[in-house]
Amino acid sequence: MARVPKKPEEIFTEITEDYQQIFGVHLLSIILYGSGAGEDYIPGRSDLNFLITLTEQGVERLDRILGTVARWRKRSVAIPLIMTRSYLEGSQDSYPIEFLNMKRRYIVVFGADVLAELTFDRCHIRLQIERELRGKLINLRSGYIATGGNTRKIRALITLSLTAFVSLFSALLYLRNIEIPHGKREVITAAGKAFGIDAPIFLKCEEIRRKTDRFSSAEVQAVFQAYMKEVNRLCDQIDRMEV
């Protein structure tokens, strides 16, 4: 059975050698981002997320990494994001929130610090926040109908959706020039103070996500209804926001 690393740095040398062997001089950078680069990493439960930057010629060799990626998946390493420098530079206006969240917590494992070069237009961030919120609200409503009112499925829907909202809250704090905390609960609390968000509702959702709550079926239903209502209210607030 493949051994899951207790600490991400245990695999840095090995994973670098694997990708160097495949891409050679076309490998520009390997960056660990997300929970594995911070204090939230839980061995066996957290995926290790890597951004791999290649030259244009290197991207043409993707067929060579299939076996390597499959082997690392057995050790809780997620399928890596493969990008080129030109793609990174051209995506800052399209996906600012994703790259902003990468920049919050990352470790350069090999090569150039390609994330340090990225800058973000606040108008692009606000627009993506609104777009993402509205899309996620539709998904929550559709997802709720699909659960048929089943409490277990509602819990799963909360678990799948909450992390995305925490990322959006981080982006909101960035717009207000407020330092973004590291933990999910801390981000939710800070966003609540800054934007009048009903933080306790999202904190209850975080308890459900972490499976540390003792809510009854009726309480889970009530939390979810309040969750959707708060997201809807936030959509209206962001629509009126000026940056």
Range of the domain at 81: 8-111
Are 183 and 166 in contact, with CB atoms under 8 Å apart? no
Q: Examine residue 227 and state whether it is found in any structural domain, yes or no.
A: yes
Examine the pLDDT at 1 and tell me if it is beyond 60: no
What mean pLDDT is predicted for residues 25-47? Answer: 86
Q: Are residues 79 and 154 in the same domain?
A: no
Measured distance CA(43)–CA(77) in Å, rounded: 11
Measured distance CA(56)–CA(86) in Å, rounded: 9
Check which CATH number belongs to the domain holding 103 and give it.
Answer: 3.30.460.10
What does DSSP say about strands 49-54 and 81-84: parallel, antiparallel, or unpaired?
parallel
Q: Are residues 174 and 230 in the same domain?
A: yes
Examine the pLDDT at 226 and tell me if it is beyond 80: yes
Model confidence pLDDT, tens digit, residues 86-125: 999 888 888 999 999 898 889 999 999 999 988 889 999 9
Examine the pLDDT at 35 and tell me if it is beyond 90: no
Are 103 and 118 in contact, with CB atoms under 8 Å apart? yes
Tokens of 85: 């420098």
Q: Are residues 92 and 181 in the same domain?
A: no
Tokens of 174: 């960035």
Query: Locate tokens 């350069």: which residue?
Result: 108
Q: Are residues 136 and 228 in the same domain?
A: yes
